[in-house]
């Protein structure tokens, strides 16, 4: 919930809010409506156990799928590493994000699990 899009003259940013993956329906709708994004902020944590958390929280593998489905050139992972909310170790989402990117053939520099307070100057060019 609470997802939104910020549009500037140069680019668009998508914040997915707190969401489960739901077969990518939200991401497909964002791509249809907005065409794509320079940057997306996508949740990657608080996903275990899946039988209980899947409707509310996506896992890193699903977040990488979401980045692809909404046509985001770059993404940052949120909703992880601050509080121990669910069963996975607090640092697991960042590790699993790297694995998901590698598994799906997406360069690691396109999707980062930022730490609280970390700054990232997102590249301006769009990656196909």
Tens-digit pLDDT profile for residues 79-117: 998 888 899 999 999 999 999 999 999 999 999 999 888
**Is residue 126 domain-resident?**
yes
**Is residue 17 domain-resident?**
no
Task: Tell me: pLDDT of 36 over 60.
Answer: yes
**Is residue 115 domain-resident?**
yes
86-110 burial, b for 16+ CB within 10 Å, e for fewer? bebeeebbbebbeebbeeeebeeeb
Confidence label for 125 from pLDDT (cuts 50, 70 and 90):
low
The single residue listed with the structure tokens 């996508």 is 42
**Is residue 14 domain-resident?**
no
Average pLDDT, the chain: 93
- Percent of the chain at pLDDT > 90 equals 84
User: Helix (H, G, I), strand (E, B), or coil: what is residue 75?
Assistant: strand
Would you state the structure tokens that stand for residue 84, as one six-digit string?
């121990």
Instruction: Give the number of domains in the chain.
Output: 1
Residue 113 CB partners (closer than 8 Å, separation 6+): 44, 76, 77, 80, 81, 93, 94, 97
pLDDT in tens, 24-34: 999 999 999 99
Mean pLDDT of 50-78: 96
Domain enclosing residue 77, as ranges:
41-128
């Amino acid at each position: 919930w609470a997802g939104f899009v910020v549009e500037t003259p140069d680019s668009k940013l998508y914040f997915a809010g707190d969401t489960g993956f739901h077969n990518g329906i939200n991401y497909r709708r964002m791509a249809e409506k907005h065409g794509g994004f320079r940057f997306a902020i996508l949740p990657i944590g608080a996903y275990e156990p899946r039988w209980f958390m899947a409707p509310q929280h996506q896992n890193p593998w699903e977040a990488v799928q979401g980045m692809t489905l909404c046509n985001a050139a770059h993404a940052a992972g949120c909703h992880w590493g601050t509080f121990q909310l669910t069963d996975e170790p607090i640092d697991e989402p960042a590790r699993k994000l790297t694995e998901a990117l590698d598994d799906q053939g997406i360069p690691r520099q396109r999707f980062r699990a930022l730490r609280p307070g970390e700054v990232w100057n997102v590249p301006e060019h769009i990656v196909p």
